[in-house]
Structure 1
């Protein structure tokens, strides 16, 4: 299965959740360019270039997921980077259009690695593994 070298950045301040996200991304067949525990590091990794998808936890220390998404959206050189927001709160993800205006999708915690893997493949238009 070719993914065309799709690369993702994963950001979540919970090490266990971050590890599940890495597993899900690997199952999706993408390269994890960075798996970080804060928004600043996530933004730096995306700005380094070549990132197709940023998977961002809504609540992180320093810059939160929405702030990282806003910075990505404000940078025309990053316009092709997709954003998948992750949160335990449906209300945070759906209230006031905050996330809808700044991301390309969201997934609610708790999630299974399989569900996240499928969502990553859908967003990056990667076919199912053989």
Structure 2
């Protein structure tokens, strides 16, 4: 069965590159959400195998989105990987305490982002 990934990032270019990369190099389905609010709606409307979540977004940042996902029984079990350009040692500690599945830093390698996700989620390597 094909994995379904929800990509929540306010930057259109990043969102499109991530979705295209996941589909082209991993063979998974990916769909984007342009804001935390839209991401929460989409997370509740579909079956997702994982969420790739940007930290720095206006209105509602990634940490708040993650906390809201954790408060909803339907979305709480979905593993979340953070996508961020800012990863200081203190950030890694804070993210680990949140209970996220992992962190992928920007800039990321489009060819390997699916493999990175699979490693963090302990999934078999993508088929492509």
TM-score by length of 2: 0.85
Task: Determine the C-alpha separation between the residues in 1 that align with 2:50 and 2:90.
Answer: 20
Count matched residues: 125
* Aligned structure 1 segments of 4 or more residues deviating by more than 6 angstroms: none
Structure 1 CA distance for aligned equivalents of residues 125 and 104 of structure 2: 20
User: Any stretches of 5+ residues in structure 2 without a counterpart?
Assistant: none
Q: Distance in 1 between matches of 2:123 and 2:34?
A: 27
Corresponding residue of 2:112: 115
Report the counterpart of residue 14 of structure 2 in structure 1: 17
| Contact kept? 1:69, 1:102, Cα under 8 Å | no
Query: Which residue of 106, 113, 125 maps to 2:123?
Result: 125
Q: What secondary structure, in the 3-state scheme, does the structure 1 residue paired with 2:74 have?
A: helix
Higher helix share: 1
Per-residue Cα deviation, 1:27-55 (whole angstroms, up to 9, x for no partner): 212111x3122111111111113111111
Normalising by the residue count of structure 1, what TM-score does the alignment of the two structures yield?
A: 0.84
Shift of 1:120: 2.4
In structure 2, what is the Cα distance between the partners aligned to 1:48 and 1:124? Answer: 25
What's the counterpart of residue 63 of structure 1? 60
3-state SS of 2:5 partner: strand
- Residue 115 of structure 1 and its aligned partner are, at CA, apart by 2.6
Contact 1:54/1:82 (CA < 8 Å) preserved in 2? yes
Q: CA deviation at 1:107?
A: 0.6
What is the aligned partner in structure 1 of residue 87 from structure 2?
A: 90
